[in-house]
Amino acid sequence: MQKLLTTRDADMMANLYRYLQQNGVPVTVSEQGNQLELWLTVSSYHAHAKALIQAFKDNPEVANQASNNAVNSAADSASTADNNSFTPSILSIMLRQAGWFTALYAAVVVVVFLGLMTPLAEGILGALLFNPNDFESLPWAQPWRFISPALLHFSVLHILFNVFWWWYLGGRFERYYGTKWLVLAFAVCAIASNTSQFIESGPYFGGLSGVVYGLFGIASVVGWKNPRHPLFLPNGLIIFMLAWLVLGYTGLLWVNIANTAHTAGLVSGLIIGVAIRFLTQYGRR
């Protein structure tokens, strides 16, 4: 993250923050002593953010004008929707909540799931399972297999659960921290969870759950006691995810659960979350 501005003027910071958000610039505000700090969360927006900040300094009323325009635009859209009995597309709303990697990976997961219902299923499994020909050796000669089981899902409930949480957690993570960080977190959590599950039970497993629990671990750490953070999770949701993890070990659930993958993903996610918090705090000094 990059620091854009420091001020003691809370009203000015609130107006500037709203103005940047309305213009699509991903920023967050933190408090350091009696100072408010404005941070850019995705470095590729730096030039755009600087230009908008300068425009705001030259004319602070630009924020109010932008706000009024947004309200009028929303009112016009609502009026048009009422007149035409049209409701906003759920798909368009969902797409705004995720980055391109989140959307692309979700699409590939769905395509693979559909492919498993065709005569191509045997070939797909052979290409994506961790190591279909060996119950003991790690697939060093085919390194993609450390990650590829995260593409496999074997029931509608399985894929719905994982894609939903991938979109919710992965999308917010990508929008806030950037695509590079999401790709790194995905790779680490996938490798950790898939390798651990292979050592525990052999090669016949699949699913994105290890990565989902990894993202859950990251969100639990970076958003802890910070309701303004995009990855903040309510206590009830944290309890649900942990209870589901524990239930998997009891054998009471009606589905087979890759418990080791879930746990390994969670642990790796917690470690990544701690690293992100450390790097964020270090970067602010």
Tell me the catalytic residues.
209, 262
DSSP codes of every residue in 96-116: HTS-HHHHHHHHHHHHHHHHT
Tally of CA atoms within 13 A in the half-sphere of 227 that contains its CB: 2
Q: Provide the b/e sequence for 185-203 (b: ≥16 CB within 10 Å).
A: bbebbbbbbbbbbbeeeeb
Q: Provide the b/e sequence for 17-35 (b: ≥16 CB within 10 Å).
A: bebbeeeebbbbebeeeee
Please check whether residue 233 is in contact with residue 220, taking contact to mean a CB–CB distance below 8 angstroms.
yes
Radius of gyration of the chain (CA): 22
Q: What are phi and psi of 222, to 5 degrees?
A: -70, -25
What burial class does residue 102 get, using C-beta atoms within 10 Å of its C-beta: 0-12 exposed, 13-18 middle, 19+ buried?
buried
Reduce the DSSP state of residue 31 to 3 states and report it: strand
Distance CA 138, CA 146 (A): 8
Contacts of 18 (CB under 8 A, 6+ apart): 63, 67
